[in-house]
Amino acid sequence: MAITDRIGKKHWTPEQIKKYAGDYLHVYFTYSLDERYRPAAASGGSTTALLAHMLESGTVDGALVLKSEVVDGRLTCRFIIAKTREELISAQGSKYMAVHFTRDALPLIRAFEGKLAVVALPCDSTMLTRLREKDPSIAQKVRFIIALVCGHNSEPELTHHIADTLGRGHGKLISYSYRTGHWRGHLTAVYEDGAKIERPFKYFSDYRNIYFFAQNKCHRCYDHFGYDCDISAGDIWSLYLRRNPIKHTAFISRTAEAERVIEQARAAGVLHVEEKDIREVLDGQSRTLPFHYNVTSRARLGKLFRMQINDRVNERVKWHDYVVALMAMANAKATQTDLGRKLVKRIPRPLLRGYVIVFKALELL
């Protein structure tokens, strides 16, 4: 194994695996065998391919997904219930923008007649799971939940800042994609004068990684993978896969129904499926995962930011955990004011990049 493939590898104890990954059955590295699902996907197109197979096989009648679209020069996101592969493809790709699941998605679920698969963030999949336990009508409709791996989410202002900065002199925004392409990928913005501008994904993620424009609720969250779902789906950051021309998606199966659906898709030639060790997924998240889980550090600092955070994990907190938590919460707080947003937007790129490097180094300690 190359030296670079050892970067990020840790010794994960059974106790750590249990608390970070939650209960699961198997871990699979997957990708869509139908190339139509891969170009616009954030990773291997596996989630789209699996949902399309579930629709076409009659396992579900619809799939609730999040679709991005540009309205009057501004990128927005809205929930739709896709019933065809074309509708699923139109909603592909990562969306790093805050949405209101309870307000916008639940009415669609309640009004839908038939069986549903739902793609949601961990916090929303937990809420939906709890609702299924209390409401038989929801339980009858929502047959399958896919939770997307999530470190935290960002307010729309961050996306607008990036789009406005790239679009100076080009008119209104026409289309926007957060991340496509191999490995970390690139973002793409198209404007009304025909200009198509691409930048490495870090042009956006440098702000996001250090919690500028982060949602407040994310400080309270410790669920990185989505404990309450059938399948957790997300990117794989194993360095050896960087040399593979096809990007893969990690599937963490948590229920017998998940196992059945994955096996059916594999047998039908829909998905490439290879079983892996959960430690490989954890290795790829070894920087952000422990900090995300460590709500304790943020709960103890909450009073500094007038935030009440319930500590449900009672983690051990080291000095660098406090420093990273302080930086993350201060950055998020700063971008909740007009003055703070203006100042952050004016940070020179080299300085911003240096700040990101320091932040990530502290996370790795």
Residues 6+ apart with CB under 8 A from 70: 76, 173, 174, 175, 176
Round to whole Å and give the CA distance between 105 and 99.
9
- Angle at alpha carbon of residue 289, lines to 244 and 211, rounded to 5°: 100
- Contact between 71 and 176 under an 8 Å Cβ cutoff? The reply is no
Q: How many domains does the chain have?
A: 1
Strand-pair category, 231-235 with 249-253: antiparallel
Round to whole Å and give the CA distance between 284 and 195.
35
Dihedral sign, Cα of residue 7, residue 179, residue 33, residue 85: positive
Q: Provide the β-strand partners of residue 65.
A: 80
What does each of the 365 residues of the chain score in pLDDT, given as a tens digit? 444 445 557 899 999 999 999 999 999 999 999 999 998 888 999 999 999 999 999 999 999 999 999 999 999 999 999 999 999 999 999 999 999 999 999 999 999 999 999 999 999 999 999 999 999 999 999 999 999 999 999 999 999 999 999 999 999 999 999 998 888 889 999 999 999 999 999 999 999 999 999 999 999 999 999 999 999 999 999 888 889 999 999 999 999 999 999 999 999 999 999 999 999 999 999 999 999 999 999 999 999 999 999 999 999 999 999 999 999 999 999 999 999 999 999 999 999 999 999 999 999 99
Measured between its terminal Cα atoms, the distance across the chain in Å is 24
Can you tell me which residue has the tokens 């290795």? Answer: 283
State the pLDDT at residue 4: 42
Phi-psi region at 181: left, alpha or beta (left = phi > 0; alpha = psi -120 to 50):
left
Round to whole Å and give the CA distance between 86 and 146.
19
Q: Is 342 helix (H, G, I), strand (E, B) or coil?
A: helix
The secondary structure of 106-122, three-state, reads HHHHHHCCCCEEEEECH
Q: Is residue 47 part of a domain?
A: yes
| Of 180, 182, 176, nearest in space to 161 by CA | 176
Q: Is residue 168 part of a domain?
A: no
State the pLDDT at residue 8: 52
| Secondary structure (DSSP) of 150-210 | -S--B-HHHHHHHHHHHTTTT-SEEEEEEEESSTT-EEEEEETTS-EEEEETHHHHHHHHT
Q: Is residue 105 part of a domain?
A: yes
Q: Give the Å distances, CA to CA, from 341 to 98, 109, 208, 278, 326.
A: 17, 36, 13, 39, 18
Give the domain range for residue 259: 19-153+215-278
CATH of the domain at 25: 3.40.640
Q: At what angle do helices 156-166 and 202-209 cross, to 10 degrees?
A: 150
Q: At what angle do helices 156-166 and 338-345 cross, to 10 degrees?
A: 40
Length of the chain counted residue by residue: 365
Q: Is residue 121 part of a domain?
A: yes
